[in-house]
Amino acid sequence: AGSFHSLLVASDGALYTCGLGKSGQLCLGDKEDRWAPTRVAALKDTAVRAAAAAEAHSAVLTEAGGVHTFGANNHGQLGHGDEEDCLEPEAVAALAGEEVAEVAAGGLHTVVRLASGELRAFGWNAHGQLGTGEAGDSSVPAPVALPDPEAESAA
């Protein structure tokens, strides 16, 4: 669930959305609110494994391991390399060829864990929430370098 919208993944992989739609975060091709779960027709041929909703954007992980994002994109939180809102699902091109295991969405940012265990983050980074070690927003998935636990315990 996001701030004002919800994403629901059915057991057959169908995606349903409801709630506030003013930024396209419902993935229904418009900016209308929905008071009842509505199937996302744009993903009818794509099985969804998991979904993450944030303040005004959404991300879904497909059974094939790809990530599609939609909704508000004022800080690059969709990972498309721009800051244009998106009313339809769009694959995060920079993750093509990578198998994504998990997706999470914060207020204005998104984080994915690859099957290899590596992390990528994109979106608003005013407080370091991307964990990249760099200041500034990122409109494309940027690597997150976790500290080495062995080096930390040796210090």
What's the mean pLDDT in 15-33?
A: 97
pTM as predicted: 0.93
What count of other Cβ atoms lies within 10 Å of the Cβ of residue 6? 17
pLDDT, one tens digit per residue, over 89-127 is: 999 999 999 999 999 999 999 999 999 999 999 999 999
Query: What is the Cβ-side half-sphere exposure of residue 90, based on CA atoms within 13 angstroms?
Result: 22
Q: Give the C-alpha separation, 123 to 98, whole Å.
A: 19
